[in-house]
Structure 1
């Protein structure tokens, strides 16, 4: 979020972000009011405009910043070389860990795409496709090398991402499975799919993930 001249500083900006994430996750973007947001942070509503010009800009910035962080973290996590299976394993481990640690941002990125104005939606969709492409490239390389047996890389990409990203809807830190256990299980499932032991059509599809997100609001 670009701070506008006259605002009170980075700590207030971070507090606004945290409060906004909490309110949108709990109530949804449409139901969240700027009055609620200001009250949660402990500032006057007019002070919010030192940080963003309107509610739509605030939502777009939250989602765009999440996508930028996701891309940067993935760049650091991926193996620059190695077998396709090794690179796919690293991708799954990263994706699961990130989506557990940043579950609010992930949830909003899926559930509130519908709330973005057309220009903002276009920008976010482009960033999502860039992320999908990183996984597609790994799967395609594995198919070309003979490590993976995939009839449709695009379908496999979408199915894998839908399955992995759904973790933000059900994972709880105090649940019966640790983050490491979930990561190991998902890694095994994804490798089985890529190596020909599973049908991509049997995995959760993006539309199902969106329905889960809608029910959580």
Structure 2
């Protein structure tokens, strides 16, 4: 906890543009002492934490929140912090409006339109109808907004992928359900999916590793089901791993071209992509009566 509080102080101070020397002077400590706190080498009293929060112009709770995304009052009271809201509300095929706070809604629009590096706190605040100081009540930096968007995107997709896979009765059916799930997500959630594909490179190493691990889990689900289907003769692709990667790549590319006002609905698109994927992976074609042509 000492290291986390120190890291939080350092990040809050940096975002506010306050030098270590200036904050140390405000606290009445030496720069060396504050440096030791920020690097987790020494602790800091509750009274001094409150002073840090006042000097940085943030709620005390933010100093106890190294991710800058609001752990809730439990951190200060000693009670367990509440967990994140459920990523999946209802059926994995169901998509309601994307529920984001005003700051994230504006950040998402800006990141998709001009990119993460092309957006600024000022332009995001203007999109949100907030002052810059008002925006800081939501997030400490545009980086925090990027991380929050990617975390929510990956959590949502991961929950849907797990639910879709669980419905399958055999490997080839699970492959079909996974492809349907990926195609639906990348069309219904086109903006956030596009952000996930285009801006992961902007993440710091720790955040990148966390987000990339979720993406690898989703790819691994498809890898495993394709391999299992090939092993029992349901699919015949020569290289199951390459085939699975090709199928997932087809789905993750959807946000680059899909338009909600186009000729295909996400559901129509998902149905087509399931057929494309199964053909690519070597499923025997069907007769008009639904019997596989390799069957007598």
Provide the TM-score with structure 1 as the length reference. Answer: 0.80
More divergent stretch after superposition (186-195 vs 146-155)? 146-155
Q: Does 1:157 align with 2:244?
A: yes
Q: How do 1:63-74 and structure 2 match up within 5 A?
A: 63-74=150-161
* Larger helix fraction of residues: 1
Taking the aligned partners of 1:35 and 1:16, their CA distance within structure 2 comes to 11
Q: Does the 8 A contact of 1:136 with 1:157 survive in 2? A: yes
1:3 matched to which residue of 2? 70
Please say if residues 3 and 50 of structure 1, whose CA atoms lie closer than 8 Å, have aligned partners that are also in contact.
Answer: no
The within-5 A match list for 1:1-217 is: 2-3=69-70, 14-195=101-282
The answer on whether the counterparts of 1:77 and 1:94 sit within 8 Å (CA) in structure 2 is: yes
CA 178–57 in structure 1, closer or farther in 2 if over 3 Å, else same: closer
Relative distance call for 1:49 and 1:38 in structure 2 (3 A) is same
Q: Which moved more, 1:21-30 or 1:159-168?
A: 159-168
1:13/1:74 Cα in 2 relative to 1: closer, same or farther (>3 Å)? closer
Distance 1:120 1:179 in 2: 30
Secondary structure at the residue paired with 1:195?
Answer: coil
Residues 188 and 266 in structure 2, CA contact (< 8 A), matched pair in contact too: no
CA–CA distance in structure 2, aligned partners of residues 132 and 3 of structure 1: 31
CA contact (8 A) 1:4 1:50 kept: no
Q: Distance in 2 between matches of 1:28 and 1:103?
A: 15
Q: 1:156 to 1:23 in 2, by over 3 A?
A: same
CA drift of 1:54 comes to 2.2
**Cα pair 2:164 2:178 within 8 Å, conserved:** yes
User: How many residues are treated as equivalent by the alignment?
Assistant: 192
Which of 185-194 and 174-183 deviates more? 174-183
Q: What does the per-residue CA deviation read over 1:72-111, in whole Å, with 9 as the maximum and x for residues that have no partner?
A: 1222223444122221111121111111111000000011
Structure with the bigger RCO (C-alpha within 8 Å, sep 6+) is 1
Q: Against the structure 1 CA distance between its residues 86 and 196, is the aligned structure 2 distance closer, same or farther, given a 3 Å change threshold?
A: closer
Kept in 2: contact 1:13–1:51 (CA 8 A)? no
The whole-number CA distance in structure 2 between the counterparts of 1:18 and 1:151 is 44
Deviations 1:7-38 (A, max 9, x none): xxxxx961111111111000100010101111
What root-mean-square deviation, in Å, do the aligned CA atoms of Structure 1 and Structure 2 show?
2.3
CA distance in 1, matches of 2:156, 2:178: 15
Structure number with larger C-alpha Rg:
2
